[in-house]
Amino acid sequence: MQKTLIANARIVTEDGDGLWGWILLREGKIAAIGAADQPPPPEAETARRIDGAGGWVLPGFIDLHVHGGAGCDFLDANEKSLREITRFHAAHGTTGMLATSLTVEKSRLDAMLEAVHRFMASPMPYAQLLGVHMEGPFINPRHKGAQNPDHIVPPRPDWLDEWTSRYPGLIKIQTLAPELDGALEYIERLKHHGIVPACGHTDASYARMMTAADKGLRHAVHTFNAMRPYHHREPGTVGAVLTDDRIMAEIIADGRHVHPAGIRLLLRAKGIANVALVTDAISAAGMPDGEYTLGGLSVILRDGVARLRDSDHLAGSTLTMLDAFRYLVREVGVSVPDASRMASANPARQLGMDRLAGSLKPGKRADVLLLDASLGLLRVWIGGTEMDTLDQGHGNEF
């Protein structure tokens, strides 16, 4: 496999800084990283050399919550759609992702799990599917958001047992409402199977959230959206997420789902280490304005904003991780290294794969992005192989 040396760039290392220097990729992994005044190892003499031109080298983005893109949905449950979704998001810096479901019939959930299982069993040409995020169907109708109310059901341990028996290790996160009957026992069951229990589309009180966290709840889906809000006498779901360090909080940074001040509040309460950037992107991501479907519901995309037909309810997003990352830096005021941590290292840690990916360190998988100084994406490497899917130009070779 070809060796690649990227030099003359700011490397966002595992320590979180912007080291001015170089990075060497070899055989699908990061071989070495060094400062500009430190010569690369002799093997770099035979490497393909890329001039970073003063830009940024980041770990590839990992999206824990994404439903689709390029006109396709993971619930399509076919190889063509999975290829298109992973191709589209790879072109915007995502190198790993969780195929995320919706509240639909069990037969469609079964079909999606089977399709993702088959897809992951063969070499994946674009962004790597790391597993499945089951969003629903065990949610509260009061905060259903853009989930189909016709298919909301109470927690079903028998479904979980069937899924984990048939596809061990495939489901990585499951979202449910902790206040539902049987939810606390279900959370314990998720924990037993090594699945991260997440709260979302929930009306859980602060007290119920604390009990759920004691049982194993460790994740909050699209924080502030579709959950009981904060009140100073009943802190609710939001209050629990903001104050409990056991819970990692997702955030959709598109300027529509959460005000920039809300994101700053979240970061001050949780700290950079406990926030994960996600897209919640739907099939309309990357597509022109028009009508789309989401879990059987009609969605209208207008000026890049997706809403349920005849409603003001947002229906997921058309966001990419690259645009979310830029929004954090440009509009919220987050540093590039900190935004990178929320887009890569924190998601990897939540999935228990931070020893393999999510940051730039010798020995880790070579999922690497090269951005210019203005945060334009120039190149993407997944497992050391450069993608040819980018719409933008390339950096200079030297």
Residue 256 DSSP one-character state: S
Residue 218 neighbours by CB distance under 10 Å: 20
Which residues are designated catalytic?
A: 280
Which pairs with CB-CB distance under 8 Å and at least 24 residues apart come from 189-194? 189/157, 189/160, 190/160, 190/216, 191/215, 191/216, 193/160, 193/164, 194/169
Amino acid at 102: L
CA dist 260 and 331 (Å) reads: 7
CB 155 within 8 A of CB 184: no
CA dist 311 and 146 (Å) reads: 10
CA dist 351 and 110 (Å) reads: 22
> Nearest Cα to 70, choosing from 55, 52, 90, 51?
90
CA dist 304 and 252 (Å) reads: 15
How does strand 18-26 pair with strand 4-12?
Answer: antiparallel
CA dist 129 and 339 (Å) reads: 22
Residue 17 DSSP one-character state: -
* Angle between helices 183-192 and 157-166 in degrees, nearest 10: 10
In 3-state terms, the chain is what percent helix, strand and coil (to 5)? 30, 30, 40
CB 185 within 8 A of CB 210: no
